[in-house]
Structure 1
């Protein structure tokens, strides 16, 4: 499996994920949220930032089920998905991840025909190659 690349701007995201928290970088001056993390606010050009805790809820904005698997590390996981999640508490923020049946479930644990644009999801966290990553499960009605 692929591992996230840690850099100075994004390291706090991964540190919070390791604690089971989904946080997004925001400008400490104008308040605008931004993702991916970067040193300067694209709105007011401030270098001051703060990490804001999100609820972890969102909705599927888009998705793809690659056929055939495009990377060798995923060859044994046919039917895996990649989803784009629009956060409920920050609709302009979209995160890429996988829809799974549970935090430690396989990437292909949700049948592709169960994935729907607009479906509500909740973040869960699991360790992948020593880094805790957010994944997504369908919200229970």
Structure 2
């Protein structure tokens, strides 16, 4: 699977800087280490975790548990560190990211993630990750600020040396921009994280500007889908329409973001997956509610907030008076 972050496309570089050479030397050193094995997963591939993951993803396919295998996209789940990591083995990536942080590149955003699956992980197997630092590109000018693109690869091995899955991961570590001036009189500072608007999503943002929550529908089979896309995943039709949702929903899942800093936002803040009665789920912030009061199943309604003089974002607020 591949994702891209709008505004994070590498741009032009600036003049030479000794600090840049130091970073490049460190990156080359870490890349020369090759693949570094981590510690085996704390737990073997197991049915309870698969069941929870399938439930969270809304995947009702019984084939995985019936066949005693894990969904391929779970590869990273088995070796993720907990909230309080214990016995973590340093990877070739850690020193590079720490050096970038020390030089003021404190912002981070994932720009690409590509996974390759060799086979299913089987119940009872204990996966082991191996990390290889692939490279550092920069400094680059991006819409978020000047930064470096760091790329690394992780391979998960089953008992022995048989690869189960691989992942290429790339992040932009950027130096958040500082305001050097003020906005023109009567205008607000531009919100730094602007959504991408294209032929697939323009109808949605036009609706937001009118106070409508629009959900894309297939003009042939009538199925609703979100996020918007060029083709219906059910009948493959390219004919599109939309319906206007009621604007109510319930919190399906959520995270409370504490770190790293996000331009234009004050931490902590809540990012939720909201399930609509129309049958789709939408990601958005929960506002007007302390993070500790957010819960799965919380009834919410959409609200529209002006982030600057031009941008309005749909967000979610509890339905009950607080």
Please tell me the TM-score bracket, short chain as reference: 0.7 to 0.9
Cα root mean square deviation, aligned: 1.5
Rounded to whole Å, the distance in 2 between the matches of 1:3 and 1:11 is 13
Q: Does 1:126 align with 2:315?
A: no
Alignment TM-score, normalising by the size of structure 1: 0.85
1:131 to partner: Cα distance: 2.2
**How many aligned positions are there?**
129
Name 1:94's counterpart in structure 2. 281
Q: Does 1:140 align with 2:305?
A: no
Q: Select 2:294's aligned residue among 115, 120, 126.
A: 115
Q: Does 1:78 align with 2:267?
A: yes
Matches within 5 A, 1:1-141: 1-74=192-265, 77-90=266-279, 93-101=280-288, 110-129=289-308, 130-140=310-320
Runs of 4+ displaced beyond 3 Å: none
Q: Please list every run of 5 or more consecutive structure 2 residues that lacks an aligned counterpart in the other structure.
A: 1-191
Q: Secondary structure at the match of 1:41?
A: coil
Larger Rg: 2
Could you say which structure has the greater relative contact order, defined with CA pairs below 8 angstroms and 6 or more residues apart? 1
Specify which structure has the higher proportion of helix.
2
1:70 to partner: Cα distance: 4.1
Rounded to whole Å, the distance in 2 between the matches of 1:138 and 1:34 is 24
1:72 to partner: Cα distance: 4.2
Alignment TM-score, normalising by the size of structure 2: 0.38
Whether the 8 Å contact between 2:193 and 2:263 is mirrored in structure 1 is no
Rounded to whole Å, the distance in 1 between the matches of 2:304 and 2:242 is 18
